[in-house]
């Protein structure tokens, strides 16, 4: 009985983490598209490397924040959490910048190009990372860890197991289909 209960908890956690991944990937895509269309006025382009409205690198960044930085905050009273804002900001900026740098090399290897170019930014490294984006990543980490993740955890807790499983299954199916179609298009 305990093994079944443990398995159920593990599945529930897995589903929740996947849904968090997708949510942050969608938020990343919305952020990128908003920057292009509203702030910079360059016009719309799909900012993701897949067809759907998501940038998986933001989901990866969210996981990195969850596992590397969130433990510093978890269980602490709000006063202590607020005192950690400068530390969380710097760690978020550094971690997200490292992920962006690694992702640039992976994208260049896998798809033949880097989906962004920071050549025009004053302080950049090989046009792959830039100081101004790193500073925004720090702010994004604060928003993620102090506002969005607690909200998403509350929303997830309110879902029934059945509802979570249905949502998870549908989104996973669409996401995997997107990956397969994208890979097929690259290969053929």
The series of mean pLDDT values per 10 residues for the chain, 188 residues long, is 57 92 91 81 66 85 93 91 95 95 90 86 93 94 93 94 95 92 80
> By C-alpha distance, which of 119, 121, 67 is closest to 92?
67
What is the rounded end-to-end Cα distance, in angstroms, of the chain? Answer: 49
DSSP string, 113-165: S-S---TTSSSEETTTEEHHHHHHHHHHHHHIIIIIHHHHHHHHHHS-HHHHH
Task: Show the tokens assigned to 30.
Answer: 């919305």
| pLDDT recorded at residue 94 | 96
What are the C-alpha distances in Å from 74 to residues 48, 77, 78, 99? 31, 9, 10, 23
Task: Describe the crossing of helices 2-34 and 161-187 by its angle, rounded to 10 degrees.
Answer: 60
| pLDDT recorded at residue 47 | 63
Task: Show the tokens assigned to 95.
Answer: 């971690």
Task: Show the tokens assigned to 170.
Answer: 């549908």
Helix (H) or strand (E) run with residue 130 in it: strand 129-130
For residue 124, what are the β-bridge partners? 130
| pLDDT recorded at residue 23 | 93
Q: How far is CA 48 from the centre of its chain?
A: 12
Q: Rounded to a whole number, what is the largest CA-CA distance in the chain?
A: 60
Rounded distance between C-alpha atoms, residue 8 and residue 28, angstroms: 30
| pLDDT recorded at residue 92 | 96
Phi, psi of 88, rounded to the nearest 5 degrees: -65, -40
Q: How far is CA 143 from the centre of its chain?
A: 12
For residue 130, what are the β-bridge partners? 124
């Amino acid at each position: 009985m305990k093994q079944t209960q443990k398995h159920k908890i593990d599945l529930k956690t897995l589903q929740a983490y996947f849904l968090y991944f997708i949510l942050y990937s969608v938020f990343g895509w919305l952020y990128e598209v908003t920057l292009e269309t509203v702030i910079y006025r360059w016009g719309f382009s799909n900012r993701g490397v897949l067809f759907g409205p998501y940038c998986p690198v933001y989901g990866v960044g969210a996981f990195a924040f969850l596992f590397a930085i969130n433990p510093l905050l978890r269980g602490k009273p709000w006063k202590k959490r607020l005192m950690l804002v400068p530390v969380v900001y710097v760690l978020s900026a550094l971690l997200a910048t490292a992920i962006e740098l690694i992702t640039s090399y992976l994208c260049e290897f896998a798809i033949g190009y880097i989906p962004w170019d920071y050549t025009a930014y004053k302080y950049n490294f090989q046009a792959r990372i830039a100081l101004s984006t790193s500073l925004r990543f720090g702010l994004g980490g604060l928003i993620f860890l102090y506002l969005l993740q607690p909200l998403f955890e509350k929303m997830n807790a309110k879902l029934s197991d059945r509802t979570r499983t249905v949502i998870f299954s549908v989104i996973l199916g669409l996401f995997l289909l997107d990956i397969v179609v994208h890979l097929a298009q690259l290969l053929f």
